[in-house]
Amino acid sequence: MIILVALVLIGVAVGVGVAVGTKKHGGSSTSLAAESATAGLSNNPSLSFTGTPTSSIQSSSSTSSPTSTSLSVLSAVYGASDVTDTAKSILPQKENIFIPTEPTLPFPDSWFGYRKCLALLLRYGSVDNQDLRTFIACEGTGNYTLVPGNVSLSPNTEATTNLGPSTSTFHIISVIWGPTEIRDSNIYQKLFDCASKSQAVSFSNEFFGQDTWNGTAKSAAVFYTTDNFSTVKNIFGREGQNASFSLL
Ligand SMILES: *[C@@H]1O[C@H](CO)[C@@H](O)[C@H](O)[C@H]1NC(C)=O
Ligand SMILES: *[C@@H]1O[C@H](CO)[C@@H](O)[C@H](O)[C@H]1NC(C)=O
Ligand SMILES: *[C@@H]1O[C@H](CO)[C@@H](O)[C@H](O)[C@H]1NC(C)=O
Ligand SMILES: *[C@@H]1O[C@H](CO)[C@@H](O)[C@H](O)[C@H]1NC(C)=O
Ligand SMILES: *[C@@H]1O[C@H](CO)[C@@H](O)[C@H](O)[C@H]1NC(C)=O
């Protein structure tokens, strides 16, 4: 009888332990956010990439009907591959988005042996063209928790700009070179010119005007829309590769 009671108690204890552990994993974002904020890339201004081909993949911007307080992934590039579908399926939408980079990021390694970075285009809320954000994190830089709410609450996250020229059928949303978002209207202009002349973009330090990750092979990601933000497309590639915008 005593043994039975003891077994039941152990069972309950284990159950509680599991429940607490699970909850903590998904929910203890405050300390992680604080930690990742300091583990960010602000001290490491140089990260980079090289590019290959270049598929341009179109990702729908609405999977799980976002609400005005949803934080949603619209498009994702890891290294030089599109991981939008994986990101949407494994990262919680609407709630905090937890992104570990240690020991690895939760995406397939399509560029073995290179230190890769993740670029996310996010939207807070449900209005197509409002409150878009870029998040960038590279392997081994800590864990990050992105929270629905003011952009300043999420580490490594910046509101997108409207730096470049645009038309009703072509708008560059965000430009990432290695570990850094490029916020230079000259580069937006160059990208716009490539699109309007149907020229390939050449992913290089020369094109982006700087080496954002000294001596390291980088990748690029450019997020854009051709339908007034209803859907988001991207081009990407490794340093040295080229890619062309898809204007259809
Ligand atoms: C980051 O998250 C991963 C996966 O959840 C975990 O294994 C690792 O211990 C975390 N690292 C830090 C520094 O919090
Ligand atoms: C977001 O936070 C910043 C800095 O804390 C503040 O200046 C800004 O007004 C806030 N934005 C909104 C929409 O609340
Ligand atoms: C784009 O959509 C916004 C609403 O989201 C609308 O106000 C604007 O007129 C649209 N622009 C074009 C060029 O259709
Ligand atoms: C990439 O684009 C640049 C500039 O447009 C061009 O000079 C170069 O030949 C292209 N390289 C490849 C591999 O297509
Ligand atoms: C970049 O790397 C080169 C050669 O490795 C080095 O000489 C230079 O000082 C580095 N620059 C920076 C800003 O770290």
Map out the domains of the chain as residue ranges. 48-243
Q: What is the mean pLDDT of residues 228-233?
A: 96
User: Which residue type is seen at 71?
Assistant: L
Torsion angles phi and psi, residue 94, rounded to 5: 85, -40
Q: Using pLDDT thresholds of 50, 70 and 90, give the confidence band for residue 186.
A: very high
Q: What is the phi/psi pair of residue 135, to 5°?
A: -120, 135
pLDDT given for residue 56 in this prediction: 38
- What is the rounded CA–CA span in Å between residue 52 and residue 68? 37
Q: Which residue has the tokens 């991207």?
A: 234
The residue to mutate among 123, 126, 129, having the most atoms of ligand 3 within 8 angstroms of its beta carbon, is 129
Residue 185: is its pLDDT beyond 70?
Answer: yes
Position 67 confidence tier, pLDDT thresholds 50, 70, 90: confident
Residue 20 pLDDT grade (very low, low, confident, very high; cuts 50, 70, 90): very low
Give yes or no for residue 126 CB within 6 A of ligand 3: no
pLDDT at 191 over 70: yes
Nearest CA to ligand 2 atom 13: 150
- pLDDT exceeds 50 at position 82: yes
Give the count of beta carbons closer than 10 Å to the beta carbon of residue 147. 18
Q: Which residue has the higher pLDDT, 139 or 7?
A: 139
Residue type at 146 in one-letter notation: L
